[in-house]
């Protein structure tokens, strides 16, 4: 989740080196969910999670966003 001192974007390389296949980034202030799929040594944004078998739009409406 994104916070004021967030380091989410800086952690992508670390996650890639450790074999993380997908990354979901939730921004509660914007009520936005972004999904990234491993593409070799980097991540590409996608609108579906292969691992969960659900689109970001479908998953986003299921989140109990704060506020």
In a domain, residue 53? The reply is yes
| Tens of pLDDT, residue by residue, the chain (67 residues) | 565 677 888 899 999 999 999 999 998 888 999 999 999 878 999 999 999 999 999 999 999 998 7
Q: Is residue 20 part of a domain?
A: yes
Mark out the alpha helices in 1-67 (DSSP H runs).
12-17, 56-62
3-state secondary structure of 1: coil
pLDDT given at position 1: 54
Which range marks the domain in which residue 39 is found? Answer: 9-62
What pLDDT sits at residue 64? 93
Torsion of Cα atoms, 57 then 34 then 28 then 55, to 10°? 20
Residue 36 lies in a domain: yes
| Any domain includes 1 | no
Residue 9's pLDDT is: 86
Domain count of the chain?
A: 1
Between CA 60 and CA 18, with CA 28 as vertex, the angle to 5 degrees is 75
Residue 67 within a domain: no
Q: What is the pTM of this model?
A: 0.84
Give the model's pLDDT for residue 4: 61
């Amino acid at each position: 989740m994104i916070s004021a001192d967030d380091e989410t974007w800086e952690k992508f390389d670390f996650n890639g080196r450790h074999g993380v296949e997908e990354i979901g980034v939730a921004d509660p202030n914007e009520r936005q969910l972004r999904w990234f799929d491993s593409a070799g040594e980097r991540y590409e944004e996608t609108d579906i999670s292969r691992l969960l078998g659900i689109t970001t739009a479908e998953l986003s409406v299921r989140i109990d966003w704060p506020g």
